[in-house]
Amino acid sequence: MRPLIGTSWKMNLTASEADAWFTAVLPLVAHLADRDLFVLPPFTDIWVARERLQGTVIGWGAQDVHPAEGGAHTGDISAPMLADLGCRYVEIGHSERRRDHGETPDLLTAKIAAVLRWGMRPLLCTGEPAPMDTDDAVRLLLADLDRCLAGIAPADLTRLVVAYEPWWAIGDGAVAAVPEQVGTIHRSLAAWLEDRANGQAVPVIYGGSVDLDIASRLLAEPGVDGLFVGRYALDPVNFARIAATPIGSAEEVR
């Protein structure tokens, strides 16, 4: 599987700042042909991404979507609007949206279905709220995935990306989860997803305080199919460095 490395800017960077970020990043990542890269800007910057990233190695997408095709939903953005802007990925179920907007697994299922209807890839975030024993975390994560993916056809799961993002490892002051534990959790999620997708592999990427120091150790773990970077990647040079992380076995990297 090709590694998948991306960033969400959350509610950061104006359209002008987005333009400058792309100007800085593009020459640094243009040679990276063995991996897939993506950026999820705020809605207001997606048009800039479309202008600057077409024909480059970086795909783009959105951080959320409304499940309806259109209508009286003031302030919301629909899947056809995102598809029309060339979005390839749509993030769904980030812990900040679950926490701040009360998003439930039923709503997330409807969002996933909308993204799939419009030919894009849902990037579903799942994570445990607090540190816990690995087996307990896996049970909780699988229960969440089971609820969020209810009714999604196995064939459609091949377009899904799952981001394992422990809530406690995200944001200012947090530290990333231990790579070996991340690997164990990813392999459990991947086995469950593969079974549900009738034998097709579903990528599982890790997010939560990823920086350059830990990126290669995470990517060296079997089962870690990529990285999802938050605040560290607001600096374009940081993103480019992580995007260029050597991919190899744990022994090669250590």
Q: Which residue numbers are catalytic? A: 94, 165
User: Cβ distance 75 to 101 under 8 Å?
Assistant: no
**Shortest distance, position 38 Cβ to ligand PEP, whole Å:** 13
Alpha-carbon distance 28 to 243, whole Å?
9
Where is 125: in which H helix or E strand? strand 121-126
Which 176-215 residues touch ligand PEP, going by CB under 6 A?
Answer: 207-210
Q: Does 230 bind ligand PEP (CB under 6 A)?
A: yes
Looking up tokens 């359209």 gives: 15
Residue 204: CB minimum distance to ligand PEP, A: 14
Q: What is the per-residue burial (b if ≥16 Cβ within 10 Å, else e) of 190-210? A: bebbeebbeeeebbbbbbbbb
Nearer to ligand PEP, 235 or 252 (CB): 235
* Contact positions with ligand PEP (CB under 6 A) in 152-171: 165, 170-171
Distance CA 237, CA 233 (A): 8
CA angle 223, 170, 240 (to 5 degrees): 70
226 binds ligand PEP (CB under 6 A): no
Among 231, 240, 242, 243, binds ligand PEP (CB under 6 A): 231
CB of 231 to ligand PEP, least distance (A): 4
Stretch that binds ligand PEP, among 36-44, 77-85, 137-145, 225-233 (CB under 6 A): 225-233
In the complex, the smallest distance separating the C-beta of residue 169 from ligand PEP, rounded to whole angstroms, is 7
Q: Closer CB to ligand PEP, residue 42 or residue 208? A: 208
- Number of residues near ligand PEP (by CB under 6 A): 14
222-226: long-range contacts, CB 8 A cutoff, minimum separation 24: 222/183, 222/187, 223/183, 223/184, 223/186, 223/187, 223/190, 224/179, 224/182, 224/183, 224/186, 225/1, 225/3, 225/4, 225/186, 225/190, 226/3, 226/4, 226/5, 226/6, 226/35, 226/36
Asked if 229 touches ligand PEP (CB under 6 A), the answer is: yes
Distance of closest approach, residue 232 Cβ to ligand PEP, in angstroms? 6
Shortest CA distance to 49 belongs to which of 75, 92, 82?
Answer: 82
The single residue among 3, 4, 8, 39 that binds ligand PEP, judged by CB under 6 A, is 8
Residue nearest to ligand PEP (CB): 230
Question: CB-wise, 64 or 165, nearer to ligand PEP?
Answer: 165
Q: Which residues of the shown chain bind ligand PEP in the complex (CB under 6 A)?
A: 8, 165, 170-171, 174, 207-210, 228-232
